[in-house]
């Protein structure tokens, strides 16, 4: 994942652009939420709910290593991990990853929905890759809280191994696209 300014070429299609102007003088953190297909009334209700003692979502971590957000409404945790990460303080089921990546993890009574992507396409011209094509990347993910297996045992680009209440998942991602899979807790 890249932190900093990014420049893109021409884009075509149905695209919505949002620009945030960051003050270079800001010393504190800030947050924003983008909700699609909503109304002013729904946003006012959401603002009131966020001021309650138990808001719809909670920011678990926001630093130069990771941004982690938990949605109570969906029982889902989103992770933007900027480096190889070993979460000493538990942030949901995720224990660690071996590379920067984006993860969305939802637990529904022992059924895990997992989405993993690496927005860094790995485009680099080398002797082995003279045209600079996007390269596939393996990401290893460690999950605490039990032993899980793949719901679809024929799914490509993902392998799962469980032992001692920890599940190791290896996914192969490419082109910045997510790999989505479902895991089921072993009995």
Angle value at C-alpha 164, between 161 and 165, nearest 5 degrees: 80
Q: Residue 85: inside a domain, yes or no?
A: yes
Please report the pLDDT score of residue 82 as a whole number.
Answer: 92
Q: Residue 14: inside a domain, yes or no?
A: no
Q: Residue 10: inside a domain, yes or no?
A: no
Q: Residue 17: inside a domain, yes or no?
A: no
pLDDT tens column, 95-120 = 999 999 999 999 999 899 999 999 88
Which CATH number do you get for residue 88?
A: 2.60.220.10
**Is there a contact between 91 and 60 (Cβ–Cβ < 8 Å)?**
yes
Q: Residue 31: inside a domain, yes or no?
A: no
Whole-model pTM? 0.80
- If one counts the domains in the chain, the total is 1
Kindly report the length of the chain: 187
């Amino acid at each position: 994942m890249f932190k900093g300014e990014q420049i893109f070429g021409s884009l075509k299609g149905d695209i919505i652009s949002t620009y945030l102007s960051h003050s270079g003088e800001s010393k504190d953190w800030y947050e924003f939420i983008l909700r699609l297909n909503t109304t002013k009334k729904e946003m006012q209700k959401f603002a009131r709910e966020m001021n309650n003692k138990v808001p719809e979502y909670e920011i678990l971590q926001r630093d130069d290593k990771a941004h982690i957000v938990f949605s109570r409404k969906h029982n889902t945790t989103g992770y933007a991990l900027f480096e190889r990460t070993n979460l000493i303080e538990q942030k949901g089921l995720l224990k660690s990853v071996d590379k920067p990546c984006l993860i969305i993890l939802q637990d529904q009574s022992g059924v895990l929905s997992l989405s993993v992507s690496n927005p860094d396409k790995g485009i680099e011209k080398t002797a082995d890759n003279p045209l600079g094509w996007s390269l596939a990347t393996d990401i290893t993910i460690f999950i605490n809280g039990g032993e899980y297996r793949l719901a679809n045992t024929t799914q490509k680009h993902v392998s799962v191994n469980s032992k001692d209440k920890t599940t190791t998942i290896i996914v192969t991602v490419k082109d910045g696209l997510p790999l989505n899979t479902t895991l089921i807790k072993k009995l």
